[in-house]
Amino acid sequence: MKTDDELKAENPELYSVARKGATEAPFTGKYVDEHAKGMYACAVCGAELFSSDAKFESGSGWPSFTEPANLAHVELRPDDSFGMHRTEVICKSCGAHLGHVFDDGPADKGGKRYCINSVCLELEREEEK
């Protein structure tokens, strides 16, 4: 795993989001309109986080998932910043801030919307496995 200094030098946007809790601008991330099959892993440490099977079009401007591929790889923390009560999604392996989870996802899939910053993800496409 890269140090924070290495991460900052190689990818300042990833550093800003993953280590400082920033958010990429909506509709700008590389995975907003991605429809390929595969596994989304943490861009910092490579932990498998979300399956493309759980991805859906939320219209929010960020990749959205109904559930993590493995709950053991994510941590949920209360986030009361900016005068809002939200739940932050963290990579349990490396502590990277990934995004937030909301209760406005598809009701037939559990009602959750994991709203994740594209810069924090790397898609391993099925054909690459």
The span from the CA of 113 to the CA of 51, in Å, is 14
The span from the CA of 113 to the CA of 127, in Å, is 27
**Of these residues, 42, 45, 94, 115, which one is catalytic?**
115
The span from the CA of 95 to the CA of 48, in Å, is 14
Say whether 115 is catalytic. Answer: yes
The residue count of the chain comes to 129
Q: Which of the residues are catalytic?
A: 115
